[in-house]
């Protein structure tokens, strides 16, 4: 009975996620719809899951880069031509903004720009690369 109780608690956690409801009701999880509904309702009513995820509390894990990947991708997508030009020259406003969004320390940005310039042919092989592919190649090269 104790072994299955632990299994139910694990199932409830995976079904209901993290948050205050899971902390309050998780120990009482018996695998029933009622116990899981109590967890989900408490999480949803209090908005504790969102808070827990962004703060890394309430049994939630905080993402490493909240929103930064989306912002970085949007920038590359919207500025692909300008980035290509700046990379070819090894400097420029687009490249500086890219370095900032990628959290490259100020003292390493000249090296970063030079590395991308030297690898221009590896980043833009055909000239018809998608923004996703360009960003993946930049990340791989910038390491």
DSSP secondary structure, 68-102, as one string = HHHHHHHHHHHTHHHHHHHHHHT--HHHHHHHHHT
The per-residue pLDDT for range 104-114, each reduced to its tens digit, is 999 999 999 99
**Amino acid 24: pLDDT:** 77
The per-residue pLDDT for range 86-122, each reduced to its tens digit, is 999 999 999 999 999 999 999 999 999 999 999 999 9
**Amino acid 52: pLDDT:** 66
Please identify every stretch of the chain with a pLDDT value under 50, giving residue numbers as ranges. Answer: 1-13, 65-67
* Residue-range domain boundaries for the chain: 2-55, 68-142
CA angle 97, 115, 90 (to 5 degrees): 55
User: pTM of this prediction?
Assistant: 0.54
């Amino acid at each position: 009975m104790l072994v299955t109780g632990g299994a139910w608690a694990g199932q409830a956690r995976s079904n209901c996620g993290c948050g205050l409801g899971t902390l309050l009701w998780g120990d009482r999880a018996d695998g029933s719809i009622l116990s899981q509904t109590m967890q989900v309702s408490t999480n949803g009513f209090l908005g504790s899951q969102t808070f827990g995820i962004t703060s890394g509390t309430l049994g939630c894990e905080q993402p490493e880069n909240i929103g930064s990947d989306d912002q970085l991708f949007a920038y590359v997508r919207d500025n692909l031509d300008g980035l290509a030009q700046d990379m070819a020259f090894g400097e420029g406003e687009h490249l500086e903004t890219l370095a900032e969004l990628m959290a490259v320390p100020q003292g390493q940005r000249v090296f970063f720009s030079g590395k991308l310039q030297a690898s221009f042919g590896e980043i833009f092989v055909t000239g018809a690369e998608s923004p996703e592919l360009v960003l993946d190649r930049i990340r791989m090269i910038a390491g």
